[in-house]
Amino acid sequence: MSKLKRFAHNSLIPIGSLLARFLPDKVPITFVGVDSTRELSESIAQMQIEKVLVVTDSVLVELGLVQKVSECLERAGVASVTYDGVLPDPTFTQVEQGLALLDQHGCQAVLALGGGSPMDASKLISAMATNRVPIEKLEGMMKIKNAPMPLFAMPTTSGTGSEVTLAAVISDPVSHKKKFFTDPKLLPLMVGLDPSLTLGLPPAITAATGMDALTHAIESYISKSATETTRGYAKISVKLVFDNLDRACQDGKNLETRRAMSLASYYGGLAFTRTSVGYVHAIAHTFGSYYKTPHGLANAIALPNVLEFSLPACEAQLAELADDVGIKGESQARKAEEFIAAIRQLMQRVAIPFGLEDLRPQDIPAIAQQALAEAHLNYPVPRYMLQGECETLLHEMLVG
């Protein structure tokens, strides 16, 4: 029975990701570089928008980044109101709070300022501003009827690529399960990639979010839905991460390196939003709902083990990525193995552990079940994983 399931899955692509191939190939207008905050602010003003809701978190207020952006908006003639209540892995509650503030101040647009959490919350706030239904009704594929309020994004981490994806991940505040919202209408209109906003990112967050970008690119590259275009985006992202993540962790104030990581995240987002992700993300999302593990860290821990499992079905692709980052090997198989080894070496250099401290052996069967349910419904993974195989992988991620 299990073998039959594996055969059926290997011959099919989940319907959602098949549909994603036919979505319009839109990319937001993007400003890149230290002038991009000003350029984006001026472009918002040119759209006759007088007041925006800046959606962010309290850390970014403390760091002075919100003030920097608000002042830039003001100089361009755009007033702003700040909602700084977003927490990592935002919940429906924060979306509702942001929406209430937007209504109270009569804002005409939403500007996401932050990592994936503020960006995802912003996507839903702008969608709910024009679709007055309970948030649950917007969950799933293509459930957003009316065009959202204009949405702009300025990422301050380099990982999720949410600024260019059609997706938002918001958790249910009661069950803490991540809920997925996918719709081309969630794509921001314009993006500002200002590397100066990422200069203060601590090494641990730089490392974890950078590994998220790498995971997007690799899972997209080996996806059964990959196209020539998405493979091109993924290759750019993988190379940028391999060339810059170490330096971004050691010398966070280097603008060139930060710029490269912003682009790595951006291209990773462009790659995976068409192809979807895979088992690494399915496991990472489940770690997130069980233990609140930061998204990038959870991905990094699962990545090498999942790639080892997937190897028989994606050896050629991993060997191609190895070529791109200058890994030598006498055969395709050797190069693919060396590529996985190079990921482990990179993790070691940027101080990411190979196992998850919080993971408890008694949780493993349920975690495997939840992760596989997510993956088999949504992701065009190259090699089907059975419950027992997933449990074995998870056992390898135990610490001690």
Ligand X SMILES: NC(=O)c1ccc[n+]([C@@H]2O[C@H](COP(=O)([O-])OP(=O)(O)OC[C@H]3O[C@@H](n4cnc5c(N)ncnc54)[C@H](O)[C@@H]3O)[C@@H](O)[C@H]2O)c1
The item of ligand X, Fe ion, none sharing an interface with residue 296, based on CB under 5 to 8 Å by kind, is: ligand X
Among 198, 223, 244, 275, which residue interacts with ligand X (rule: CB under 6 A)? 198
Whole-number minimum distance, CB 168 to ligand X, in Å? 5
Out of 33, 140, 200, 203, the only residue in the binding site for ligand X (CB under 6 A) is 200
Taking the C-alpha atoms of residue 89 and residue 267, their distance in angstroms, rounded to an integer, is: 22
Q: How far apart are CA 392 and CA 197, in angstroms?
A: 41
Binders of ligand X among 163-192, rule CB under 6 A?
165, 167-169
Q: Which two tokens stand for residue 78?
A: 């755009």
Sole window of 29-37, 162-170, 325-333, 343-351 interacting with ligand X (rule: CB under 6 A): 162-170
Q: Which residues have C-beta within 8 Å of that of residue 65, sequence separation ≥ 6? A: 56, 113, 156, 197, 200
Q: Which of the choices ligand X, Fe ion, none does residue 338 contact, using the CB cut-off of 5 to 8 A by kind?
A: none
Find the binding residues for ligand X in span 40-99 (CB under 6 A).
Answer: 57, 59-60, 63, 88-89
Q: Which amino acid is it at 228?
A: E
- CB 346 → Fe ion: shortest distance, Å? 17
> What is the distance between the alpha carbons of residues 208 and 206, in angstroms, rounded to a whole number?
6
* Residue 212 lies near Fe ion (rule: CB under 5 A): yes
Q: Does 302 bind ligand X (CB under 6 A)?
A: no
Q: State the Cα–Cα distance between residues 31 and 81, nearest whole angstrom.
A: 23
Distance between CA 124 and CA 280 in Å, rounded? 25
Residue 374 contacts Fe ion per CB under 5 A: no
> At which residue do the structure tokens 């998204």 appear?
295
How far apart CA 376 and CA 10 sit, in angstroms, is: 11
Is residue 180 helix, strand or coil?
Answer: strand
Measured from the CB of residue 199, what is the shortest distance to ligand X in angstroms? Answer: 7
Task: List interacting residues with ligand X (CB under 6 A).
Answer: 57, 59-60, 63, 88-89, 114-118, 120, 156-157, 159-160, 162, 165, 167-169, 197-198, 200-201, 205, 209, 212, 295-296
Task: List interacting residues with Fe ion (CB under 5 A).
Answer: 212
